[in-house]
Amino acid sequence: MNLRRIGTSLIAPVIGLLFSLAITAIILVAINASVSTVLSSMWSYGTSPRAMSLMLNLATIYFLSALAVSIGFKMNLFNIGVNGQYVLGAVAAAVVASNLTLPKVASVTIAIFAAMITGALWAGIAAWLKVARGVSEVISTIMLNFIAIGIISYIIVRTGIGTETSLNVRGTKPIPESGMLRGSAFIDPGTSIYGFFFISIIIGIGYWFLLNRTRFGFDLRATGKSASAARTSGVQSNRMIYVTMFLSGAVAGLVGLPYLLGDTGTYSLQFPTDWGFTGIAIALLGRNNPLGIALGAILWAFLDISSGQLILEGVPREISTIMQGLIVIVVVISYEVVRRYQVKSEQTSVAKAMAKQEEVAAV
């Protein structure tokens, strides 16, 4: 039965992929592009060492973002504010780390904590608004995104925290090399894989243990499956909202760090600010499961990285964005279809097994 369950849980994403590939092919045909050339050139570029290194780096970021979102999803709490949480986390880490002259381990650890605490506190505002004032976390976290970005612009442009890091670009003071986590170039000699790649694997494993092997994880999942039953079982829903939001925000705080500590060393106004939304899509793709999220993140990163190839083929690169969107929609739909089928088939299998028992009993 468990094997079958794993089988059915793979069916949905596979169907989703094939289906969106088919639609993409139709679109390509409609704009007079050669389907096979486009796909093969995306594939051949995407599997080159350099592209794979870039892909893993980007996937690391997406993975953390999706993990942060899915902690909330697990209890039906929608943290749409990963964007705000990670930009503030990254700024906090950048400010702290740039003022430290400590050994690498200590400096990076402190930067990580600064980012996590900042992200958690920012998300905590939404939790407080929900518990105390009944404000939907969807609304408040979206609003907090704008506020966070506004605050950062102010800090960097108007206060002494910001300096001119390169021509006409203001950012935080650069982090000394001792505070960076650049990783190593083990796939492509010219491209480092972020040190955070490994940290994010550890976080993924930790996430799985927390959710599936701890009492807290059980409380969280129970709340997601049935809030009323969880409450009856002794879960304090308000406390759960706080803890879950803090956790989600803490992981969200890390989202910017692979890039900050592995590449730029400064938070400038050119720092990307929308990885949080990508995380939502990938959390949906991966069904809040760390392994699924990892695969989803890699797929997403592959499409992002190889989209550059599309221009060379004379095809608008937005095709890859269309594909990403299609995959999410189709996969989400096929998850639901498969889930319904699963519930039905389980019910009939129970009925069958029971009918047999009854017959035996009747004889």
Partner 1 sequence: MSQSALAVELSGIWKRFPGVIANSDINLKVASGTVHAIVGENGAGKSTLMKILYGMQKADEGTISINGTNLIFNSPSDAIDSGIGMVHQHFMLADNFTVLENIVLGSEPKNGIRLDFEKARKQISDIAAENGLAVDPDVLVSELGVGDRQRIEILKVLYRGAKILILDEPTAVLVPHEVDELFNTLRDLKKEGLTVIFISHKLDEVLSIADEITVIRQGSTVGSVNPHTQNVSARDLAEMMVGNELPNPEAVGDTIQAEVVLKVDNLAVFAKGGKAIVDDISFQIHAGEIVGIAGVEGNGQAEILDALMGIESATGRVQFKNEDITNKSTRHRRELGIGFIPEDRHRQALMLEAPLWENRMLGHQTRTPNAKGIWLTPRSAKADTKRIVEEYDVRTPSIDILASALSGGNQQKLIVGREMSGEPKLLIAAHPTRGVDVGAQAAIWDHIRHARQSGLAVLLVSADLDELIGLSDNIKVLLRGKFVADADPATVTPQELGTAMTGAGEVA
Q: Which residues bind partner 1 (CB under 8 A)?
A: 1-2, 212-219, 221-222, 225-226, 228-236, 343, 346-347, 349-351, 353-355, 357-358
Tell me the two tokens of residue 334.
């096929």
- Mark out the alpha helices in 273-312 (DSSP H runs): 275-285, 290-312
**In the bound complex, what is the minimum distance in angstroms from residue 353's beta carbon to partner 1?**
4
Contacts of 221 (CB under 8 A, 6+ apart): 74, 75, 211
Closest to partner 1 by CB, 31 or 354: 354
* Rounded Cα–Cα distance for residues 162 and 267 (Å): 9
Q: Is 30 exposed, middle or buried (0-12, 13-18, 19+ CB in 10 A)?
A: exposed
What are the backbone angles phi and psi of residue 52, rounded to the nearest 5°?
Answer: -65, -35
**In the bound complex, what is the minimum distance in angstroms from residue 76's beta carbon to partner 1?**
13
Closest to partner 1 by CB, 160 or 234: 234
| Nearest Cα to Cα of residue 53 among 301, 275, 225, 249 | 301
DSSP per residue, 129-155: HHHHH---HHHHHHHHHHHHHHHHHHH
| Nearest Cα to Cα of residue 223 among 242, 251, 249, 206 | 242
Closest to partner 1 by CB, 55 or 284: 284
**In the bound complex, what is the minimum distance in angstroms from residue 241's beta carbon to partner 1?**
16
**In the bound complex, what is the minimum distance in angstroms from residue 112's beta carbon to partner 1?**
23
Closest to partner 1 by CB, 104 or 239: 239
CB atoms within 10 A of CB 362: 6
**In the bound complex, what is the minimum distance in angstroms from residue 210's beta carbon to partner 1?**
10
Closest to partner 1 by CB, 144 or 247: 247
Closest to partner 1 by CB, 104 or 213: 213
**In the bound complex, what is the minimum distance in angstroms from residue 216's beta carbon to partner 1?**
7
CA distances from 79 to 88, 151, 323 (A): 15, 20, 25
Given a contact cutoff of 8 angstroms between Cβ atoms, the answer to whether 39 and 319 are in contact is no
Closest to partner 1 by CB, 22 or 350: 350
Tell me the two tokens of residue 79.
């943290």
> Sign of the C-alpha dihedral, residues 241, 243, 246, 248?
negative
**In the bound complex, what is the minimum distance in angstroms from residue 7's beta carbon to partner 1?**
15
Closest to partner 1 by CB, 122 or 335: 335
Given a contact cutoff of 8 angstroms between Cβ atoms, the answer to whether 45 and 55 are in contact is no
**In the bound complex, what is the minimum distance in angstroms from residue 219's beta carbon to partner 1?**
7
